[in-house]
Amino acid sequence: LDNAAFKLECAKAAPSSPGVMLLNGASANLNLVGLRLNVDAFVSPPIVLPMVTDATGQASVPLPVPNAPPLSGRKLYAQFLVLDLGGPFDLSGSQGLEFTILTP
């Protein structure tokens, strides 16, 4: 809680490519013809945050966490999807990330 500098970072993606970060309170384990989706995108719609990788394939998405006690202990799931013309659906995906918001 109360971390204005919190962010999630993506690395080793296609350079200079558009993408999104999916964020949801529900996880998934779905194989979409070679693209593994680890964040629920069907039952509970995720928050979709756009981003663009830099020339080295890295990107950062700021997620400032307010000082809101009801968020304490909340688990969230995130995953990056980046345009990659060689991947399934012309996308590549990061591994999924599970994290918990903690009280400082």
Kindly tell me if the per-residue pLDDT of 104 is higher than 90: no
Neighbour-count burial of 98, counting CB atoms closer than 10 A to its CB (0-12 exposed, 13-18 middle, 19+ buried): exposed
The residue that leads in pLDDT, 49 or 103, is 49
- Residues 66-102: tens digit of each pLDDT: 999 999 999 999 999 999 998 999 999 999 999 999 9
- The letter for the amino acid at 68 is A
- Residues 16-45: tens digit of each pLDDT: 999 999 999 999 999 999 999 999 999 999
Mean pLDDT over 50-79 rounds to 97
